[in-house]
Structure 1
């Protein structure tokens, strides 16, 4: 009985997702860093843990309008440290196909790896389809993302086509499992030999690690290609971006009536209900924060009751009541999304679209607070760094009566450890 390669890829991706989730459950935790203070440990998922200190070079502001001290965001324009890869116009040596899976924060990494591989092999990249969480649920790339922007950004770097030629599509691809943030060594040692035997590949990105830390590479061309793909290529299609902008504008309008600050918090009750956050052993070790803990943290670092808060939740949940009581201006997508858009974004059962709005709003809010570790936090941090929006505050227990918010700045920023700092300066 013949086996569809796409089913094989789906199996790989499903297994990868469970392995990654298992690692998060097992390893993500708080780790004490000082007397009376702890950190949100994110190292197991590759997301930098937040040490309770900031770099000596970080410039501090006076207390802002909200009564919270935050590092001063750069007033200078952030510029790419890389130039667009040289034009690579040559006859295609084959085709690279893949699918976007597991959500928009994973899509960014999947796109980046596929573009880097196609560039190195001199292959044509086929626009991916987007596979939903439910079996058989899929959509076209252009149904979610700006296909013209994507293809234009890669013009001269990688040839991109909408579909395979008929003569190729009738053949079976070689399925290749690819580790996230694929290296030149892996391409030359594993992928290239397969491509030389079968110039029709189907990639399955494996997220055994989701590290977005900087790492050394001797190939500047591939580094520039990765920067281009990660930060310039993938954008929501204009009508979806407009919905996110409308929601953020509404939040800012509300905030202007109070303290003038919008905080976006990535907090998902679904994960909390599945008891992803656990306490192990004698020391308190957790992978994420519950609503009441977030409230405690925000109050201790000085955020006022008038602060406007956006939660990456679709619907209101009773466990969020403690946030609403402490910060009345707290909203979910259902609270602030235009009624005309709710059917498509909230009631369609497609969580990818809702999560894509979260990604954009969290990337552009005044402050971002990741209460849950993972790739979403990493990619939001990258987008904010690239835009000069470096107010990213990672929660931690505060035993004293108060603390400075600046002491909890993400080490992605304070240590400049995020790969975005190798792409922008």
Structure 2
């Protein structure tokens, strides 16, 4: 539910004068099953004019579903210059509703204060066990390794000289034994379950909403001092866009290299400045 996650008032206020937003479905629309049109992300006006508008003129009401045909968010010739409305949609209109923002803020505060030796800093690692099991089968056979498990992430962080007292946040919701290898190297490693209050866990983790958990992860990863993706995926690319917007460009991508220099592992999105977000933030 949109309003359970995002600030509806902020959404409507930001779009005022640009597009009309109805708070409620008209009665006729609510009672009928709307035709669904799947639209790929980042389409041009010609696509809308030829694929969507004709059906809209016939049906009068449509439900649009946006999907991502590619997990890559690099700038292309068609996105070298992004119109201001697209930038507004990507970086301005969505703000967490106050209650959820308070939860995120409290989790970040705990990460910064749990370990007195961390100087108020933490690393966010996007690593979910289920994701590794589903998306990374056959990864070993590829020429370029794209998935890293908990032990490999720990070895990578150690290689680039992060001290063992570093605070680490994992996007996994609850601790699993397959993560033990990382905590053996970095004892101050936490999941949501570790840094949420009992009330927050009851209200959020017990709800079973994976989308809600992803939203929390997105904001905690966007605010971390360093972000490390265990898998190159859409979440990784989306977090980078948010971090570019806020100037937090310390994103390290594990690779099978021996270099101990963090500079050699900076995400290509950053080092080559080819992320779509750079079209909005020159």
Shared fold, TM over 0.5: yes
User: Root-mean-square deviation (CA), in Å?
Assistant: 2.1
> Given that residues 75 and 276 in structure 2 are in contact (C-alpha distance below 8 angstroms), is that contact kept between their aligned partners in structure 1?
yes
Q: Which residue of 2 aligns with 1:407?
A: 264
Deviation of the 1:296 alpha carbon: 1.2
Larger radius of gyration: 1
Q: Which residue of 1 aligns with 2:9?
A: 148
* Residue number among 145, 150, 163 corresponding to 2:24 in the alignment: 163
Q: Secondary structure at the match of 1:265?
A: strand
Q: Which residue of 1 aligns with 2:42?
A: 181
Counterparts of 2:131 and 2:154, CA distance in 1 = 18
> Given that residues 112 and 118 in structure 2 are in contact (C-alpha distance below 8 angstroms), is that contact kept between their aligned partners in structure 1?
no
Deviation of the 1:204 alpha carbon: 2.2
Counterparts of 2:140 and 2:164, CA distance in 1 = 33
Q: Which residue of 2 aligns with 1:134?
A: none
Deviation of the 1:205 alpha carbon: 2.1
The alpha-carbon distance between structure 1 residues 260 and 145, as it changes in their structure 2 partners (threshold 3 A), is closer
Once the two structures are superposed, the pairs formed by residues 261-300 of structure 1 within 5 Å of their partners are: 261-274=121-134, 276-279=136-139, 281=141, 284-300=143-159
Q: Deviations over 1:2-28 (max 9, x none)?
A: xxxxxxxxxxxxxxxxxxxxxxxxxxx
* Residue number among 304, 308, 313 corresponding to 2:167 in the alignment: 308
Once the two structures are superposed, the pairs formed by residues 98-247 of structure 1 within 5 Å of their partners are: 140-170=1-31, 173-217=34-78, 223-247=83-107
Bigger mean CA deviation after superposition, 225-234 or 170-179: 170-179
Deviation of the 1:207 alpha carbon: 2.5
The alpha-carbon distance between structure 1 residues 274 and 175, as it changes in their structure 2 partners (threshold 3 A), is closer
Counterparts of 1:357 and 1:241, CA distance in 2 = 9
Deviation of the 1:247 alpha carbon: 0.9
> Given that residues 255 and 261 in structure 1 are in contact (C-alpha distance below 8 angstroms), is that contact kept between their aligned partners in structure 2?
no
Q: Secondary structure at the match of 2:168?
A: strand
Q: Deviations over 1:332-380 (max 9, x none)?
A: 1111111111011111211222221111000001000011121111111
Larger relative contact order (Cα-Cα within 8 Å, sequence gap ≥ 6)? 1
* Residue number among 326, 345, 350 corresponding to 2:209 in the alignment: 350
Counterparts of 2:267 and 2:115, CA distance in 1 = 24
Structure with greater helix share of residues: 2
Q: Secondary structure at the match of 2:62?
A: strand
Q: Which residue of 2 aligns with 1:334?
A: 193
Any unmatched runs of 5+ in structure 1? 1-139
The alpha-carbon distance between structure 1 residues 323 and 225, as it changes in their structure 2 partners (threshold 3 A), is same
> Given that residues 177 and 204 in structure 1 are in contact (C-alpha distance below 8 angstroms), is that contact kept between their aligned partners in structure 2?
yes
Deviation of the 1:280 alpha carbon: 5.5
Counterparts of 1:218 and 1:250, CA distance in 2 = 39
Counterparts of 2:137 and 2:270, CA distance in 1 = 25
Q: Deviations over 1:116-140 (max 9, x none)?
A: xxxxxxxxxxxxxxxxxxxxxxxx3
Any unmatched runs of 5+ in structure 2? none
Counterparts of 2:44 and 2:245, CA distance in 1 = 23
Counterparts of 2:78 and 2:19, CA distance in 1 = 20
Q: Which residue of 2 aligns with 1:99?
A: none
Matched, 1:424 2:248: no
The alpha-carbon distance between structure 1 residues 271 and 217, as it changes in their structure 2 partners (threshold 3 A), is closer
Q: Which residue of 2 aligns with 1:46?
A: none
Q: Which residue of 2 aligns with 1:372?
A: 231
> Given that residues 278 and 285 in structure 1 are in contact (C-alpha distance below 8 angstroms), is that contact kept between their aligned partners in structure 2?
no
Deviation of the 1:284 alpha carbon: 4.0
Structure with greater strand share of residues: 1
Q: Deviations over 1:121-160 (max 9, x none)?
A: xxxxxxxxxxxxxxxxxxx321221111111111111100
Counterparts of 1:298 and 1:395, CA distance in 2 = 9
Q: Deviations over 1:370-410 (max 9, x none)?
A: 11121111111011000000001111123x3x510111001
Q: Secondary structure at the match of 1:176?
A: strand
